[in-house]
Amino acid sequence: MKAALVDLVRIPSVCDEGAGGFPFGEAVDQALRKALQIAGELGFKTHYGDGGYYGFAEIGEGKEMLGILGHLDVVPPGKLTDWDRNPFDPIEMDGMLYGRGTQDDKGPLLASLYAVKALMDAGVKFNKRIRFIFGTDEESLWRCINRYTANEEMPDFGFSPDSRFPVTYAEKGLLQLRLEGINESGIRLTGGSAFNAVPDMILYEGERQDDLADKLDQLGFEYEWNEDGIEVKGKATHAMVPEEGINAIARLCIALKAIGIESKAINFIAQEIGEDPNATRIFGDCADEPSGKLKFNVGKIELGLVEQLSIDSRIPVTVSKEEMVSKLSAAAAKYGLEYKEFDWLAPIYLPLDHFMVTTLMNVYRQYSGDTVTPPRSSGGATYARAIKNCVAFGALTFDESMTEHQPNERADLKNLYKSMEIYAQAVYELTR
Active site residue 61: no
Nearer to Zn ion, 105 or 231 (CB): 105
Q: How far is the CB of 284 from Zn ion (least distance, A)?
A: 30
Instruction: Choose the binding region for Zn ion from 16-24, 104-112, 228-236, 272-280 (rule: CB under 5 A).
Output: 104-112
Which of these ranges, 97-105, 268-276, 277-285, 325-333, lies near Zn ion under the rule CB under 5 A?
A: 97-105
CA–CA gap between residue 202 and residue 234 (Å, rounded): 8
Count of residues in contact with Zn ion, rule CB under 5 A: 3
Distances from the Cα of 41 to the Cαs of 44, 66, 424, in angstroms? 7, 21, 19
231 binds Zn ion (CB under 5 A): no
> Taking the CA of residue 257 as centre, how many other CA atoms within 13 Å lie in the half-sphere pointing to its CB?
19
Work out the number of other CB atoms within 10 angstroms of the CB of residue 321.
Answer: 16
Residue 105 interacting with Zn ion (CB under 5 A):
yes
Active-site choice (73, 104, 162, 302) = 73
Question: C-beta of 138: minimal distance to Zn ion in Å?
Answer: 6
CA distance 166 to 181: 44
Q: What single-letter DSSP state applies at residue 81? A: G
User: What is the number of alpha carbons within 13 Å of residue 199 lying toward its C-beta?
Assistant: 30
Q: Which of 29, 105, 137, 138 is catalytic?
A: 138
Q: Is 104 in the site for Zn ion (CB under 5 A)?
A: yes
- Of residues 402 through 421, those in contact with Zn ion by CB under 5 A are none
Residue 23's H or E segment, with its range, is: none
Q: Give the alpha-carbon dihedral of 246, 15, 74, 189, to 10 degrees.
A: -10
Q: Does 162 bind Zn ion (CB under 5 A)?
A: yes
- Backbone φ and ψ for 65, nearest 5 degrees, come out as -130, 130
Looking at beta carbons only, is 267 or 297 nearer to Zn ion?
A: 297
Residue 307 interacting with Zn ion (CB under 5 A)? no
Q: Is 180 assigned a catalytic role?
A: no
Closest distance of CB 374 from Zn ion, Å: 22
Per-residue binding letters, 319-348, with Zn ion (x by CB under 5 A):
------------------------------
Distance CA 299, CA 311 (A): 6
The C-alpha R_g of the chain, in whole angstroms, comes to 22
- Please give the positions annotated as active site: 73, 138
Q: Applying CB under 5 A, which residues contact Zn ion?
A: 104-105, 162
